[in-house]
Amino acid sequence: MEFFIINLLYFVIAIPIVLIAFPILLKLCRDKQFKYIILILSLLLFSVRFILIFFQDTIGIMPYLIEDVIFYGLLMIFGVIFTWVYVFKIEQVSFCNIGGKVENVKKSIIYGLMAYIPLLCLLPVMKLLTGIHISFNITLGKILVAISFAVLAGIYEEFLFRGVIQNHFMEITKYKINKSIWLTSITFTLTHLFYLPFTGFGIYYIFVFIMALILSFLRAKCDLLACSILHSGIVFILVVFV
């Protein structure tokens, strides 16, 4: 496990950007300007991810991460607070409004686990095209970093993308489910630009886009629990074994 104090500069840069964007988003939410909410929120989510690139020498870059447990632990806390403030204070919606109501826990778990199959089948293709190294040298640092990413995936990304943004796309498209799934998936993939390497014919982004489609489909047919089971688990696997 390592710790680079320079990584804390990330929060010095990212937090002011969030504090500037939140009042703008609050005004847009009050006026129900759904198109602009999606645009500004997507740019904000892209920005806080893009800033990580400037610290790649000391935090690593996906899929290879440096085991800076302190930084990634703080990033997890930052993501959870960001999500809580945005969803419940800016959007001012309830957990149920964004897909948090679970009517059938068994169904959600089964759907979430079944959705692993196509993504796990893509992993050998990704390995072949990019040459990523599968490692079974599992350390405590890797596990802790993987937990941080799993929480970020299951809460931060699912609440904001499949919860908030997909809801707004549903409203914009007049509740046309297929359109909202495609639009949410494209938006999700675009916010990952530059964060992943452009190697292997863009296979990382193809993987992200396919995962986004599956997640949005799960959200439309099920709930956020199913989405979180899939997203958290896949991210945990990738971080631990790469």
Contact 210, 118 (CB under 8 A): yes
pLDDT recorded at residue 88: 96
CB atoms under 10 Å from CB of 123, counted, come to 17
Residue 61 has pLDDT above 90, yes or no: no
Mean pLDDT of the chain: 95
pLDDT recorded at residue 136: 87
Q: How long, in residues, is the chain?
A: 242
What is d(CA 216, CA 182) in angstroms, rounded to the nearest whole number?
A: 8
Residue recorded with tokens 């199959």: 117
Residue recorded with tokens 């089948």: 121
pLDDT recorded at residue 82: 98
pLDDT recorded at residue 86: 98
> What is the residue type of 97?
N
pLDDT recorded at residue 29: 96
Over its C-alpha atoms, the chain yields an Rg (Å, rounded) of 17
Residue 54 has pLDDT above 90, yes or no: yes
Chain segment 28-51, per-residue pLDDT in tens:
999 999 999 999 999 999 999 999
In the DSSP assignment, the letter for residue 102 is -
- Stretch 183-195: mean pLDDT: 96
Residue 240 has pLDDT above 90, yes or no: yes
What is d(CA 147, CA 105) in angstroms, rounded to the nearest whole number?
A: 22
- Stretch 125-139: mean pLDDT: 90
When divided into structural domains, the chain yields a total of: 1
- Stretch 58-85: mean pLDDT: 94
Question: Residue 187, CB half-sphere, CA atoms under 13 Å: how many?
Answer: 28
Q: Predicted confidence band at 64 (pLDDT cuts at 50, 70, 90)?
A: confident
pLDDT recorded at residue 44: 98
- Stretch 74-90: mean pLDDT: 97
What is d(CA 85, CA 95) in angstroms, rounded to the nearest whole number?
A: 12
- Of the chain, the percentage scoring pLDDT greater than 90 comes to 89
In the DSSP assignment, the letter for residue 158 is I
Chain segment 146-174, per-residue pLDDT in tens:
999 999 999 999 999 999 999 999 999 98
Contact 199, 64 (CB under 8 A): no
pLDDT recorded at residue 49: 95
Chain segment 201-222, per-residue pLDDT in tens:
999 999 999 999 999 999 999 9
- Stretch 13-28: mean pLDDT: 97
Residues 6 or more apart whose Cβ sits within 8 Å of residue 92: 29
Structural domain range at position 56: 5-241
